[in-house]
Structure 1
Amino acid sequence: MNDEKRVYRFGGDEQGRDVTEGSASMNYVLGGKGANLAEMCRLGLPVPGGFTITCQTCVAYSGAGDVWPLGALDEIDEATRDLERRMGRKLGDPDDPLLVSVRSGAPFSMPGMMDTVLNLGLNDEAARGLIKQTQDEHFVWDSYRRFIQMFSDVVMGVDAELFENALTEKRLVAGVKSDAELSSGDLFELVEEFKGIFQEHVSASDHPELVVDGKVMFPQDPAVQLRLAIEAVFGSWMNERACLYRKRNGIPDDLGTAVNVQAMAYGNKGDSSATGVAFTRDPASGENVRYGDFLINAQGEDVVAGIRNTQPIQEMGSYPALADAARDLERIFQILEAHYRDMMDIEFTIEQGKLWMLQTRVGKRTATAALRIAIDMVEEGLIDRETAVRRIDPAQLDQLLHPQFNTHTAPDVLARGLNASPGAAVGEIVFSSDDAVRRAGEGVPVVLVRWETNPDDLKGMVAAEGILTSHGGKTSHAAVIARGMGAPCVCGVEAFRIDAAAKEVHVEGTDVVLREGDIISIDGTTGIVVAGAVPLKRAELTGDLETILSWADEIRLQPGSTHPYHVRVNADNPEDAELALGFGAEAIGLCRTEHMFLGDRKEIIQSFILSDDEQERQAALDSLLTVQRRDFLKMFKTMDDRDVVVRLIDPPLHEFLDDPRSLEVRIARLEAAGAPAEELEALKARLRRIDGMAEMNPMLGLRGVRLSFVFPELPLMQVRAIASAAALLIRDEGLAPKPEVMVPLVSLESEQVQMRSICEQVIDEVAAEYGVALDIPVGTMLELPRACLMADAIAQHADFLCFGTNDLTQTTFGFSRDDAESKFIPIYLHNKLLERNPFETIDEGVLELVRMAVEKGRSVKPELTCGVCGEHGGDPESIKGLFNVAGVDYVSCSPYRVPVARLAAAQAKLAEMA
């Protein structure tokens, strides 16, 4: 027998005593929604009673092939009878029926990704009983038609547009603009019509339990309704949009969702009733003001679906019938924020003047708001600085570096909407998620333009540069998801009359018609829409971000802990170096010298590689020495008194040569045009040399340190350029440059020994030539498993170790990054063979190689400096492992990832100290 508890009660009993069995700490059991419903009950807040079916039940049900665990249905039946006793009403009762909502609730917030069913328990008899009870036919038939529509869509998979089309037709016939204006007779007719749609589109063979007298009928048994609804919510855990959301937000697939069955509170009982979604602070700006939307005479889905334009929460108290509830809501705002010590997201319903709380959770917010709220709460004494730093999602900081409009004059505004999610975007208009994915896949920036988004649009929202909707408020689906993704979004652009079928937009009040492929610019910070492309710029580190990062720096660099966590930058030119200094980089962890051979210098390196003439090759080397020294002078001057790790040339030399196939075409065309034989022979000889350098697997071929032995002039030239640039700055400008030479792709101790000897010889020669003392460390880049295994031997001849985890991942897995990420890694991720892309977040096997190599290196040199450069150096999850597991001293990342790395490093330090 299975003794696992599968159902937990919340709310009061028939005597009004609280019988809640859960708490906020049980989110992995009850899901976030169920745990917080239980917590609100414990706080004494007005919550309709109900029960929660655990996440583990969902996992067991799904894992068994959608078969219920032993005893689970019996426990649900008992919880249902208990709820009926507590509420004093029964599901399906012909005189005074109980109605319930069935809602999902995962351990982590996934707004709009899974399914909900409202008004469950209504059938023909219960509807008539409810009319007798309430004396309100309009309310009852409105609730019944909503239930049939939602149940058919969510549980049975009937196309929701069939119902929406019938509803639209009914409004047209009745001559009204909104659903609320339909008469009770209109709504009754819709109930019957909706039942007909259900009967026509639900298969009898798939659902024999719904067949009556040979026909599929809308289920009249509340027990059947409830079981099917719970199964549908469980099933929605694995729907496409939920899986995509979890993948994007790093939420495991094996957690499952809880199901909350809760007595209904009705916001559609006339003008003294309402429903709404609100935040205790502004989730877009962080300002300490109430923020949200409400609708009079509506149910909750109306607010988030964006089908009716909402009213701001601040206006609720101006309605006499809602004034008491508005005051109660303000009191609850204060209670919840003080209890959770965070900005809270709230769903509520007012039923004939009585406020009911349906949900609360820590609210999603923009990066701007997250910073402002964290700082304000420190100043208010609600949290300390360490909590504030923990609370900021490092990945969210990218939002603050998102582009903004870069124009000195105000752009010509085509239309205005709500500033739902900050940042600016420019792109071609597309009207569907599929088109957004397709065009973005072709490398075209797009703006997704929709009447309103729905959860199935997530893939298009991810692909788009920005999102625009003509309906919906600041808590609509588009707004909430865009803010969570950090995508610019403008909602409620009412002037846009969108014809998705014709793929065009008519802008009200103008003669402007926008069509698919036209360029628009949107600003999610101000809510404006501009025709055409507006230049964009990135934001700077100022204000709240600077404050939070200064707190982060104090934490990650504080004395007394095991060791400070440093952040460096990958920079190949003075401009990137200067930018990174502004972003708080402490040094340059990787300067890739091969990037200095591009552009107009490509001809120089080609002359060196391809020429058979020794004088020509030497002239090329002399030219490279001149330009490289000039580059290093600028770099070292910009980074004066800060480490600059310069990696010697790494990629295969043929990467600097012309594409052989393009050269073949050029030769063929010249031959056809009758070009001189001498010119043709020179080009053919060049082609033979290029083809002769081709490799079957260049990433494992003639590159890295191997180049230095095949072309020994190259490292001599590069080290001379580094050393002489440093010497000039010391001698002529009194500066304190701190270059370090890094030898790439070492796998043998002997490679490092010989390269160190060569480097030291050149450094000594330059020091004598310029009459200065030069202290230039020589280290190595560990990118191969053998190098990690032999790190103790290699470290004896290296002043530092730096791990190139991009190549180390390639060589550990045997994956080619250039091919794997497009060919089979997506399939591996989809089939759960990999949990995450190892080129984005460091793999545990690669991390173990780094940890082992650090340990081995420090076994022979206890003070050995070890760092990591590459993509993983800017990934928050990787950063935690690299510091806390591998024990490196620094990470080095691209300039725009430096702020992210600073915050992630501080959070890693806090985790180490916990």
Structure 2
Amino acid sequence: MELIHDVKARVFKFGNKKADGNSSMKNLLGGKGANLAEMCAIGIPVPPGFTITTEVCTEYNLLGKEAVIELIKEEVEDSIANIESSMGCTFGDKYNPLLVSVRSGARVSMPGMMDTVLNLGMNDDVVLGLIKKTNNEQFAWDSYRRFIQMYGGVVLGMKPASKDDVDPFEEIMDHLKDKRGIKLDTQFTIQDLKDLVYDFKDAVRKQTGHSFPTDPWEQLWGAIIAVFNSWNGDRAVYYRNMHGYPAEWGTAVNIQAMVYGNMGNNSGTGVCFTRDAGTGENVFNGEYLINAQGEDVVAGVRTPQQITKLGSQRWAELAKIDEADRLENYPSLEELMPSIFEELNGYQQILENHYRDMQDMEFTMQDGKLWVLQTRNGKRTGAAMVKIAVDLLKEGKINEKEALLRLQPTKLDELLHPVFDPKALKRAHVIAQGLPASPGAATGKIVFFADEASKFKNSILVRIETSPEDLEGMNVAKGILTARGGMTSHAAVVARGMGKCCISGAGALNINYKTRTFTIDGHEYHEGDWISLNGSTGNIFEGKVETVEPELSGEFAEIMDLANKYAIMKVRTNADTPKDAKVARNFGAQGIGLTRTEHMFFEVDRIKAMREMILADTVKGRKQALEDLLPMQRSDFEGIFEAMDGLPVTIRLLDPPLHEFVPHQLATQKELADEMHISLQAVKNKVAELEEFNPMLGHRGCRLGNTYPEITETQTRAIIEAALNLKARGIICNPEIMVPLVGTVKEFEMQENIIRSTASKIFEERQDSIEYLVGTMIEIPRAALMADKIAEKADFFSFGTNDLTQMTFGYSRDDAGKFLPVYIEKGILKVDPFEVLDQEGVGQLIKMGTERGRSVKPQLKVGICGEHGGEPSSVEFCYNTGMDYVSCSPYRVPIARLVSAQAAIKEAMR
């Protein structure tokens, strides 16, 4: 490749098989600019142009418009001259005019998020020159009206006044179509187009108070600044936040010579893919329109046609169009323009072979000549992502490590959860947005109370927030929607563990339990009304949206086997039931990193015994109630151990404060008093006694076990006896008993003594024994600081990052939703620390705790069991910290397995 000038420049030229940059310079030139340069170098016909770098966008945000224009003015003028020389025409010349396009180009693909202006350089003189040059009056006036419309909207701010209003330019066109009795833009006459140009300019003058700019250079600078501004537009900011892209990246600006797809029936435009973006099938596909410009294909104003004959026939079959009608009205590009198709087909093969990945291309045919406007690695579904990676590997285009590194871990979610039917989704109406707490799709009738979730065959449980008492109803419901709470709220964590679709923190919901309604923007929804949830996006839809079960392809298993080959750090699961354990094992979990024993106590037949234990005034009374719970909990552990035959199982002793288990509603309190033959007042007094100002910092975790040692004794007996029972059946058990919320060495020592003395008694009673470990959950900052002392006693550490994050930041994870979105919007925080591990703060405590623990006990087993254990960047951090394993919800196990492999590969490449 021939380099035209110094790479330190702010503007980079491309064209005529020469370019300043290449595809490795995406951070500087943006993905579009880097690929345009690369395509020029390998001989693809690309309209000449230049790229203003992403760094200039950053400079613009710091210095402002005038200063940045002064910085790049000379280079831009020189680059326009270079295009003029290549195309043989002049910018702004009324006899032989050059028109240009101005497009954004971030380092990652952000389709539709930022702005584009086409046909820039038009004015009343240039349009006449274009008519003489092309001898095509229809085309020239159509290009002029398109330019005013795009420039007016993007640069001059001619937008609808509100979401209920119509775009001012569309309103003018609709009025003219009604007057003329036509439906399509292509049906406008030359006089219609002249009238539209006049009316558009008049609308600009009335709304902005200024005439439409006629100087091409004024137009160009306005468009460049508008693209920079669009980097911080609402759409782009939302998209960046959704994908975690930093605001400081900025966008490049790409200016290219215009080529025209709207010059008549020998011209056109389209978008194509080297493989099917939905399924991953190795078939060339795409859509095109004759006599159109690029936005026409995307906007859906006209029905686009298929590029290949096979694609056209498949489309016609779905649309129930017979072959004769298809050939006459919807011929494929392959059939209509076979030579153009062959040329395009050749380029798509060259580009996929060159980039060694599926490509998304845009092209224009101008009067029979083919131009390629853009290529990029195509966006694809999770299923297509996996299939394409495996197919490229088998085709020898990439190696095993590249196949794994090509995969976007979070997109594996799409393979594991129900999804909405794409056709139904197009018709669905979004009524509100919440946090995408647990992926998948769910549709059902609204219920407001957990114990009524089974009222309908398909229900959506709608709560202000959920509590452990709602567990059974959450399990019954198809999906869960809460008005409060974040990504690690009770609803979010439990739903992910169940593989259940959940949206949390939907603040627009105003829920009224008394009337069994919720309102959004004044619209009222009642119990029994249908709603649908997209747990992958946080969108809440009105009515019933059909879902489909995803199919796990054979390629998925191949990718998981490949991940196992390269992964070093193991992946366990958080599972509280045998069902969850089996699901996780099927997904490849290598053990259980967290079993929360409190979740076992909320079922109807157990909560009574638990409440009796809490209400007992004596040790004897508590032990009697715990005796009733013992066989139930022992049975649960047996089921979990059996599901994890031969794999380690970490069981956390009782963690939440006791007030969570007692009834808070008067009717339930009265029912409990009657069952226990005590007064209602006694129940009320106990509930009041257990109430805490800050339960997170109160009587919970190891504090409970040390205050009421009989609780720890009973739980230890259930664990050890369950393991011995299964040992007698030939099933191997590896229990790891975890003490929660330790802050001092003495707290752990006291619990360890209870556990080991209880285990010894059981071994003596049964004349048999098993190997087991006793460790602790590091979730208090002091525990991380004292890790070397604790490690002298503990067999393992498991970092509980949900609570560690809460205590380190001083944020309540159930209340932080009130300010975290504002913090992220204002840049105080880059991401939600309950969703993505805070490596700068919380991460340093984890590193310190791991290093101090292993300084005393080098072989100390260390893992993580917070929800961060399934978030890709957090998993990679855990690998780099030297953890033995991460543990996450069952449905996030494949994600963590993939990231574990990717982290090991990246380390080997460093």
| Equivalent position of 1:645 in the other structure | 650
The answer as to 2:338 corresponding to 1:323 is: yes
The 5 Å alignment of 1:204-603 reads 216-315=210-309, 322-403=337-418, 431=429, 435-437=431-433, 519=530, 533=544, 539=550, 541-556=552-567, 564-600=568-604, 601-603=606-608
1:762 and 2:758 are equivalent in the alignment: yes
CA distance in 2, matches of 1:825, 1:219: 43
Measure, in 1, the Cα distance between the counterparts of 2:372 and 2:419. Answer: 38
**Contact map agreement 2:288 2:333 (CA 8 A) in 1:** no
TM-superposed deviation, 1:71: 2.5
Tell me the secondary structure at the aligned position of residue 269 of structure 2: strand
Secondary structure in 1 matching 2:248: coil
Q: 2:860 aligns with which of 857, 864, 877?
A: 864
> Residues 805 and 868 of structure 1 are in contact (CA less than 8 Å); yes or no, is this contact kept in structure 2?
yes
Structure 1 residues 536 and 6: alpha-carbon distance in aligned structure 2, compared to 1, 3 A threshold: closer
Cα offsets for 1:86-140 (capped at 9, x unmatched) = 3221122111110000000011110000000000011000000111111111000
Query: What secondary structure sits across from 1:619 in the alignment?
Result: helix
Tell me whether 1:140 sits opposite 2:140 in the alignment.
Answer: yes
889, 895, 910: which is aligned to 1:894? 889
Q: Quick check: 1:268–1:274 contact (8 Å CA) kept in 2?
A: yes
Q: Is the 8 A contact 1:425 1:522 kept in 2?
A: no
Is residue 2:72 matched to residue 1:78?
no
Alignment-derived partner of residue 471 in structure 2:
none
Query: In structure 1, which of residues 199, 205, 211 is the aligned counterpart of residue 205 of structure 2?
Result: 199
SS at match of 2:827: coil
Looking at structure 2, the residues matched to 715 and 679 of structure 1 have their Cα atoms a distance apart, in angstroms, of: 24
Contact 1:763 1:774 in 2 (8 A): no
Question: Is the 1:47–1:357 Cα contact (8 Å) retained in structure 2?
Answer: yes
Measured in 1, the distance between the counterparts of 2:231 and 2:58 equals: 10
Give the corresponding residue for 2:829.
834
- Shift in Å, 1:373: 0.7
- Secondary structure in structure 1 of the residue aligned to 2:666: helix
Question: Compared with structure 1, are the counterparts of its residues 250 and 521 closer, same or farther at alpha carbon in structure 2 (3 Å cutoff)?
Answer: closer
Give the 5 Å matches for 1:158-197.
158-159=158-159, 161-197=167-203
| 617 and 603 in structure 1: CA distance in 2 versus 1, 3 angstrom threshold | same
1:549-582, Cα deviation, whole Å (9 max, x unpaired): 11001110xxxxxxx2100001111111111111
Give the TM-score normalised by structure 2: 0.82
Write the distance in 1 (CA, Å) between the matches of 2:81 and 2:146: 25
Amino acid of the residue matched to residue 738 of structure 2?
Answer: M
Deviations 1:408-459 (A, max 9, x none): xxxxxxxxxxx759xx879xx864x5x3338999x99789xxxxxxxxxxxx
Name which of structure 1's ranges 58-67 and 361-370 shifts more when overlaid on structure 2: 58-67
Distance 1:819 1:67, change over 3 A: farther
The residue number in structure 1 matching 2:788 is: 792
CA contact (8 A) 1:271 1:321 kept: no
Deviation digits for residues 608-663 of structure 1 (CA, Å, limit 9, x no counterpart)? 1112255543320101112111111211122121111111101111111112xx33
How far apart, CA to CA, are the structure 2 residues paired with 1:751 and 1:137? 87
Aligned position for 1:24: 23
Residues 261 and 290, structure 2, Cα contact 8 Å, conserved in 1: yes
TM-score by length of 1: 0.82
1:759-810 per-residue CA deviation (whole Å, 9 max, x = no partner) reads: 1111111111111122111111111111111111111111111111111111
What is the CA–CA distance in structure 2 between the aligned matches of 1:263 and 1:802, rounded to whole Å?
A: 59
Give the partner amino acid of 2:610: I
**Conserved 8 A contact 1:785-1:812:** yes
**Matched residue count:** 789
- Change in CA separation of 1:745 and 1:678 when aligned onto 2, cut-off 3 Å: closer
Q: Which residue of 1 aligns with 2:37?
A: 38
Contact 2:289 2:304 in 1 (8 A): yes
SS in 2 for 1:9: strand
Q: Tell me, yes or no, if the aligned pair for 2:428 and 2:545 is still in contact at 8 Å.
A: no
Structure 2 CA distance, aligned partners of 1:278 and 1:3?
32
Q: CA deviation at 1:286?
A: 0.4
Q: CA deviation at 1:533?
A: 5.0
Question: What whole-Å deviation, never above 9, does each CA across 1:704-740 have from its counterpart, x for those lacking one?
Answer: 1111111111001100111111112223x12221111
1:439 and 1:5 mapped to 2: Cα distance? 42
Asked if 1:708 corresponds to 2:705, the answer is yes
Report the alpha carbon displacement of residue 182 of structure 1 after superposing the two structures with TM.
1.5
- Compare 680-689 and 747-756 and name the one that shifted more: 680-689
**Structure 1, 277-286 or 625-634: larger mean CA deviation:** 625-634
Contact 2:709 2:754 in 1 (8 A): no
Structure 2 SS opposite 1:238:
coil
Which residue in 2 is equivalent to 1:472? none
**Whole-Å separation in 2 of the counterparts to 1:314 and 1:420:** 22
The Cα shift of 1:664 comes to 8.9
Aligned match of 1:686: 683
Is the aligned partner of 1:811 residue 2:810?
Answer: no
1:870 deviation in Å? 1.6
Partner of 1:410: none
Maintained 8 Å contact 1:803/1:850: yes
Secondary structure of the residue that 2:133 maps to in structure 1?
Answer: helix
SS of alignment partner, residue 247 of structure 2: coil
Question: What SS is found at the alignment partner of 1:346?
Answer: strand
Q: Distance in 2 between matches of 1:425 and 1:125?
A: 46
Find the aligned partners of 1:773 and 1:105 in 2 and give their Cα distance.
Answer: 65
Alpha carbons 1:585, 1:898 under 8 Å: kept:
yes
Q: Given the alignment, which residue of 728, 733, 736 partners 1:740?
A: 736
* Distance apart, 1:310 and its partner CA: 0.6
- Paired with 1:180 and 1:716, the residues of 2 have a C-alpha distance of 81
User: CA RMSD, aligned part only?
Assistant: 3.1
Deviations 1:803-855 (A, max 9, x none): 111111111111111111x1211111111111111111110111111111111
Counterpart contact for 2:7–2:20, Cα < 8 Å: no
What's the CA shift string for 1:175-220, capped at 9, x where partnerless?
Answer: 33211122111111111111111111113xxxxxxxxxxxx22111
Change in 2 beyond 3 A, CA 1:680/1:190: farther
Which residue of the other structure, out of 828, 851, 856, is the alignment partner of 1:855? 851
Amino acid at match of 1:804: G
Q: Is the 8 A contact 2:262 2:268 kept in 1?
A: yes
| Separation in 2, partners of 1:78, 1:734 | 80
Deviation string 1:329-377 (CA, Å, 9 cap, x unpaired) is 0010111011000000100000011000100001110111111111111
- Whole-angstrom distance in 2 between the partners of 1:83 and 1:536: 51
Identity of matched residues, %: 47
The amino acid of 1:371's aligned partner reads: V
8 Å Cα contact 1:284-1:420 kept in structure 2? no
Q: Retained in 1: the 8 A contact 2:669–2:683?
A: no
CA distance in structure 2 between the aligned counterparts of 1:719 and 1:290, rounded to whole angstroms: 61
